[in-house]
Amino acid sequence: MLFTLLASCLTSPHAAILPQPTLVANIRSTLTFRSTAETASTESVAEFTRAHHLAPWEDIPEFDLLGRSLQLQDDTADTADTDDTDQVSLNPAFGASGSTRWTLTGGFGIDSGDTSNTEYGLGLGMQWFLVDDFAFAPTINIWGFSQEVKNAFGGSVDLMFQWHFIKGESWTLFSDFGCGLLGSNNNVPSGGSQFNFTPQAGLGVTFDVGQDRRWIVGVRWHHISNASLYQNNPGRDNVLVYTGLSLPF
């Protein structure tokens, strides 16, 4: 029975023939036409569609591996730039209230009363900005004194204050003042004592040198005397020039 039906279908003059797949219009072309001819009639759209028949799979864009790779690199670079910007924004502006910094300085001074007497020192300190542009700046110093009779070495703790009263885009002008306590192995000056006070004041400039670091240059009046706690108090007034770096805490 099955073979009879199959033979009948194959020999029939009206055997079924599968229809050809219907072509569809090119998607991009159709959309472009519609966007540029908003006032066109329905017949015009139909004619345009019939003129741009494509099989469905022929309208798929090619996969550009190189273009995709470059796009991913650009996306990664944009993310990295955003991360760097966020990191930079975490650093407070120089002189902002509540910010703290380290200072490393070195200086050389000359006794204004006797230029044969000199001093040289290294200091480690900090800047703690109590309010905007005004800092408490304690410093620990190591000193060497070249003078008549006996040279001397010593150390001091200086309690200083800084006021950055003029600020440019990448620099500041400041004044500083304060007092310290100095101890030495020999008398300073030679006819004085081994324990002294060090009142001082001066002017300085800071320059932005990148990565939140500042170059410091300054000059101070640096006085050394024992405030008449001892029988002899000759005192010594030095012109001290110093330089160094201010670093983020």
Distance CA(227)–CA(206), nearest Å, equals: 33
Query: Residues 167, 125: one domain?
Result: yes
pTM over 0.85: no
Query: Residues 61, 121: one domain?
Result: no
pLDDT per residue, tens digit, the chain (249 aa), is 555 555 555 555 554 455 555 554 455 555 555 555 554 555 555 565 555 555 555 555 555 566 666 666 666 666 555 555 444 446 789 999 999 999 999 999 999 999 999 999 999 999 999 999 999 999 999 999 999 889 999 999 999 999 999 999 999 999 999 999 999 999 999 999 999 999 999 999 999 999 999 999 999 999 999 999 999 999 999 999 999 999 998
By CB atoms closer than 10 A (0-12, 13-18, 19+), residue 193 is buried
Query: Residues 183, 67: one domain?
Result: no
Query: Residues 190, 166: one domain?
Result: yes
Identify whether 1 is part of a domain. no
Query: Residues 122, 195: one domain?
Result: yes
Identify whether 49 is part of a domain. yes
Distance CA(26)–CA(49), nearest Å, equals: 8
Assign residue 195 the CATH number of its domain: 2.40.160.20
E-strand spans in 112-188?
Answer: 118-131, 134-146, 152-167, 171-188
Q: Number of folded domains in the chain?
A: 2
With vertex at residue 218, the alpha carbon angle to CA 212 and CA 222, rounded to the nearest 5 degrees, is 135
Give the domain range for residue 77. 21-89
What's the number of CA atoms in the CB half-sphere (13 Å) around residue 239?
Answer: 6
Q: Of 39, 70, 89, at which residue does a domain stop?
A: 89
pLDDT digits (tens, 9 = 90+) for 136-175: 999 999 999 999 889 999 999 999 999 999 999 999 999 9
Distance CA(140)–CA(121), nearest Å, equals: 10
CA distances from 212 to 16, 93, 208 (A): 84, 9, 7
pLDDT digits (tens, 9 = 90+) for 75-98: 666 655 555 544 444 678 999 999
Instruction: Write b or e for each residue in 161-175: b if 16 or more Cβ atoms lie within 10 A of its Cβ, otherwise e.
Output: ebbbeebeeeebebe
Nearest CA to 208 among 242, 171, 163, 238? 171
Distance CA(167)–CA(82), nearest Å, equals: 28
For the CA atoms of the chain, what is the radius of gyration? 42
